[in-house]
Amino acid sequence: MITSKIIANGILRAIAYFLAIGLFLYFLYQIQTVIIYLLISLILCLVTNPFVSFLKKRLKFNNTMATVTTLVVLISLLVGFVLLFVPLIISQAENLSLLDTDSLQKQFLVIEKNIENYFNVNHINLEQILKESNLSSKINYNYFTDFINSILNLIAGFGMGLGSVLFITFFFLKDQLLFKEKAKMILPDATEDKILNSIDKINILLSRYFVGLMIQLTVVFILYFIVLLIFHAENAFVIAFLCALLNIIPYIGPLIGMILAAILTLIGGIGTDFSTEVLPTTIYIMIGFMIVQVIDNNIFQPIIFSKSVNSHPLEIFLVILISGVTFGVFGMVVAIPLFTILKVVLKEFFPTNKIVSVLTENI
C-alpha cells in the first residue's frame, strides 16, 4: 500500500536527484576551461599517437623518450608557426582592417563606389537604389572584425593554457597503458572487455580522422596560398590561413572562406584601378578557390571523412546536415567524431541488432 510517507520520500528523492544533477552541471560549467584543456590534450594525443608508435616501433625509443620527442616536435612546430604568423598578422593588421571597424566601413564604401562606377549604370540608378536600401548602414561591420578578433583571442587563450595542455598531453601519451590498467580495476567485469575494445577502436579511428584532417587543412592552405601568390594578392599568407582554417566546418566553411578571400582582396586592392586590376584579380582568385574546393571535395574529403572513419559519404553528409540543423556550426564540426564514437559503442554492445549491423559493417 502506498502511503503518504512513501510518496513524500519519493518526492524528496527526486528533488535530491535534480539538485545533484544541477550541482554537477554547474560544477562542469565552472571548470569549463579545464574541460577544454582536456579535450585539446585528447585531440593532440590522438593526432600524435601514430608518431609515438612510429618512434617506439621503428626507432626503438622507450615510452618516455618517444613521448618527450613527440612533444618537442610539437612545440617546435608551434613556435615556428607563431614566429611566422604573428609578426605577419601584426604588420598587416592595418591593411586588413582586422581591428579597426571605422576603417573597414570606409573601405567598404569605397568598394561600393567603385562597383557603381564600374558598371556605369545608365538605365538603372544604382546610387539611388543603394541610398534607398541604406545597405552600408545595415551591414554589421563588427561581425567581420569580431570574427577575426575571436580567432586572435582563441590563439591568445590557448597560449595562456599552453603549459597545462602540454602537461596533460604528456601524461596522456606516456601513461596510456597505466590508464587502461586503472580502468580495468574500476569498470564492471561484465562490460569491461566491451568498453576497452570500444576505447581502442575509437582511439584508432579518431587518430586517423584527426591526422587526416590536419593533412587536409595543410594541403588546402598550400593550394590557397599558391592561388593568391599567382594573382599577387596582398596578405596572401593571412588570407590563405584563415580560409583553410574555415575548412574545419564541413561544406559551409569553404564557401565562407571564399567570400572572406574576395572581401579581403577587394579591401587590399583599394588605391589601384578597380576595373582593370582589383575586380579581375578578385574574380580569378574566387575561380582558383573553386578549383581548390573541387580538388578537395573529390580527393581529400572522401578519404578523410569516409575511409578514415569507415563510413559512406552519403552517411557522413546526412550526419553533418542533421547536426548542423540541430546544433548549428558547432554540431557540424563535432558531428563526425561523435558519430564515429556512437557507431563503435553500438557495435560493441548491440552487435546482433540488424540496424546496427548495417551501419557498422565496415568497423
Q: What percent of the chain has pLDDT over 90?
A: 6
Give pLDDT tens digits for 37-54: 888 888 888 878 888 888
- Tell me what pLDDT residue 112 has: 62
Rounded Cα–Cα distance for residues 118 and 129 (Å): 16
Rounded Cα–Cα distance for residues 321 and 335 (Å): 9
Q: What percent of the chain has pLDDT over 70?
A: 75
Task: Single out the residue of 47, 75, 43, 39 nearest to residue 163, CA to CA.
Answer: 75
* Mean pLDDT lowest among 149-163, 236-250, 269-283, 340-354: 149-163
- Tell me what pLDDT residue 84 has: 65
Q: Which residue has the higher pLDDT, 331 or 134?
A: 331
- Tell me what pLDDT residue 98 has: 45
Give pLDDT tens digits for 109-121: 666 666 666 655 4
Give pLDDT tens digits for 207-235: 888 888 888 888 899 999 999 899 888 77
- Tell me what pLDDT residue 274 has: 62
Say if residue 89's pLDDT is above 80. no
Mean pLDDT of 85-96: 56
Q: Which residue has the higher pLDDT, 224 or 263?
A: 224
Say if residue 172's pLDDT is above 70. yes
Rounded Cα–Cα distance for residues 241 and 290 (Å): 16
**Ramachandran assignment for 103, one of left (phi > 0), alpha (psi -120 to 50 degrees), beta (any other):** alpha
- How far, in whole angstroms, is CA 325 from its chain's centroid? 17
350's CB contacts (< 8 A; 6+ apart) are 356
Mean pLDDT of 175-195: 79
